[in-house]
Amino acid sequence: MDHNATILSLFAGVGGFEQAFHKAGFTGTMVAYENWPSARAVLSTRFPSAQLFGDVKDLPPKLHDAEIVTAGFPCTDLSPAGRLAGISGDASGLIVGVLRAVQRQSPEWVLLENVPNMLRLKGGEAMAIIGGMLSDAGYRWCYRTLDAQHFGVAQRRKRVFLLASRHHDPERVLFRDKATLTGTKPTATGRVHKAHGFYWTEGNRGVGWGDGVVPTIKGSTTRGIPSAPAIWLPDADIESKFRTPSIEALETLQGFRPGWTVAAPVRDRWKLVGNAVAVPAVRWIAEGLKAYDQLVSVELSRELDVKHGWGTAGLSVDGHVRCLKVSEGPVTGPLRRAFTLQRVLDDRGSNPLSAKATRGFASRLLRSNLRYDDSFMRDLNAYASL
Ligand SMILES: C[S@@+](CC[C@H](N)C(=O)[O-])C[C@H]1O[C@@H](n2cnc3c(N)ncnc32)[C@H](O)[C@@H]1O
């Protein structure tokens, strides 16, 4: 498609979508809406030629004549760590107003992103409402859960991407690796991991653990404090075995250049980075959009009816939704991590995990049902008693 297309980026944050489309070779007008001054400070330094606006509630009816509308809309009411009000919540519900404008103006492409809990909360109510509004407006749409770790960054970050088009086949883009045909699972690196990420703030949860990756970087936690994941380096000297990434390391783990958010106040940088989309996952979609004319239709198999629950991926055909069993990363393409977790820490910096945090985590781990290697507990105890 035309690399000069106008892109309207809503809830732009620090510009994860903008950067991904830019990297994919889109050079047209960028119009961004973001109402948080700290995020706007980053947007205006990183995208000086973009047109920057504030509240999405002030969107003009013609949507700036954009061909592509992107929205990584607030997850505050959808995320398990949030308020759970769902799509009728004040923050996540903003997408409904956006979709009303989409219904009136019919931009060619719409790309949405949010947390996988959107598929489960209240029986997938948010998906039903969003998909219903798009179908009513004559859009064809599909969605796929993608995990950032399969796109070259050392972070596990699963997000649902929904792609809709007025006149084209979005599945040609989102399933172009033909994952549904082969059922092949992507493999991240095949290396023996030398670093393991975990959250010390939620130590008794299995999901807080990662081999060779950090668990999902968060903008906020159930405790309300955005906190860094911790990293265990089993091969390091005892005093260096437990680290937390620097803010520059965190930016790298989201696929941004180190220092990307330096224009924001220090107190907000963690939250801004944790809120953002992982750039390489969106870049993969943007590259598919750019190459659309060369893509062929994909034959999608293994369909399940959505009445059994929203699967991790699916598509709507004539308003009827079918779920698909597909991988969470492309089965073709650049799967190797440019930088291992260890390398990101070495190059971008890290800080020691405090002894207090280590002790707290060790005692929760003892009470948890998380399965772990004995040497992990040995290291935790030895480090905490330094
Ligand atoms: C999940 S974050 C999106 C992050 C973005 N995708 C990125 O890569 O940084 C949602 C963003 O929506 C912004 N936001 C919330 N309500 C808004 C509104 N009414 N108008 C504009 N932006 C809003 C928040 O400040 C936040 O930056």
- pLDDT of 226 strictly over 60: no
Tokens 């035309």 belong to: 2
56 lines ligand 1 (CB under 6 A): yes
Confidence band of 139 (pLDDT split at 50, 70, 90) = very high
Give percent above pLDDT 70 in the chain: 88
- b/e map of 78-103 (b: 16 or more CB within 10 Å)? bbebbeebbbebebbbbbeebbebbe
Q: What is the pLDDT of residue 191?
A: 47
Judge if the beta carbon of residue 18 lies within 6 A of ligand 1: no
11 lines ligand 1 (CB under 6 A): yes
Same domain, 241 and 107: no
Q: pLDDT-based confidence at 188, cuts 50/70/90?
A: very low
Domain identity same for 97 and 179 = yes
Phi, psi of 136 (to 5 degrees): -60, -30
Catalytic, out of 75, 78, 126, 231: 75
Which of 282, 271, 183 minimizes the C-alpha distance to 224? 271
- The model carries a pTM of 0.94
Is residue 234 in a domain? yes
Residue nearest (by alpha carbon) to ligand 1 atom 7: 276
Q: What is d(CA 209, CA 215) in angstroms, rounded to the nearest whole number? A: 6
C-alpha 12 – ligand 1 centre gap (Å): 5
Least confident of 29-33, 57-61, 220-224: 220-224
In this structure, of 25-39, 160-174, 183-197, the range with the lowest mean pLDDT score is 183-197
pLDDT confidence of 189, banded at 50, 70, 90? very low
Q: What pLDDT shows up at residue 304?
A: 64
- Residue matched to tokens 């997408």: 95
Domain match, 237 and 342 both: yes
**Closest Cα to atom 12, ligand 1: which residue?**
11
Ligand 1 centroid to 74 CA: how many Å?
6
Out of 254, 275, 279, mutate this one to test ligand 1's pocket (max ligand atoms within 8 Å of CB): namely 275
CA of 137 relative to ligand 1 center, distance in Å: 25
Q: Name the band, by pLDDT with cuts 50, 70 and 90, for residue 190.
A: very low
Phi-psi region of 237 (alpha: psi -120 to 50; beta: other; left: phi over 0): beta
Q: What is the atom index within ligand 1 of the atom nearest the CA of 39?
A: 27
Residue 285 has pLDDT above 70, yes or no: yes
Closest CA to 33 of 3, 62, 69: 69
For residue 373, the model assigns a pLDDT of 79
Q: What angle do CA 57, 63, 65 make, to 5 degrees?
A: 170
List CB contacts of 320: < 8 A, sequence separation 6 or more.
none
Q: Please provide the average confidence, as pLDDT, over all residues in the chain.
A: 88
Q: Please compute the mean of the pLDDT values over residues 325-335 and round it to a whole number.
A: 71
Whether 75 sits among the annotated catalytic residues: the reply is yes
CATH at 313? 3.40.50.150
Contact 205, 195 (CB under 8 A): no
Residue 206, pLDDT score? 47
Q: Are residues 15 and 126 in the same domain?
A: yes
Pocket test for ligand 1, best of 11, 46, 118, 279 (most atoms within 8 A of CB): 11
Answer yes or no: are the C-beta atoms of 31 and 17 closer than 8 Å.
no
Determine, yes or no, domain membership for 263.
no
Q: Does the residue 146 lie in any domain? A: yes
Same domain, 148 and 57: yes
Least confident of 21-25, 70-74, 80-84: 80-84
Domain with 122 in it: 7-186+277-324
In the chain, the amino acid numbered 56 is V
Do 124 and 21 lie in one domain? The reply is: yes
Residue 265 lies in a domain: no
pLDDT of residue 179: 67
pLDDT band at 300 (very low <50, low <70, confident <90, very high): confident
Do residues 235 and 141 both lie within one domain? no
Q: Are residues 345 and 309 located together in one domain of the fold? A: no
Class of residue 198 by CB neighbours under 10 A (exposed 0-12, middle 13-18, buried 19+): buried
Distance 13 CA to ligand 1 centre (A): 5
Domain match, 305 and 170 both: yes
Residues 30 and 139 in one domain: yes
In a domain, 270, yes or no: no
Whether residue 253 has its Cβ less than 6 Å from ligand 1: no
> Quick one: 359 and 254 in the same domain?
yes
Tell me: do 231 and 113 sit in the same domain.
no
Which residues fall within 8 angstroms of residue 178, CB to CB, at 6 or more apart?
Answer: 298, 331, 332
The answer on pLDDT for 239 being more than 70 is: yes
Domains contained in the chain, number: 2
What pLDDT does residue 180 have?
58
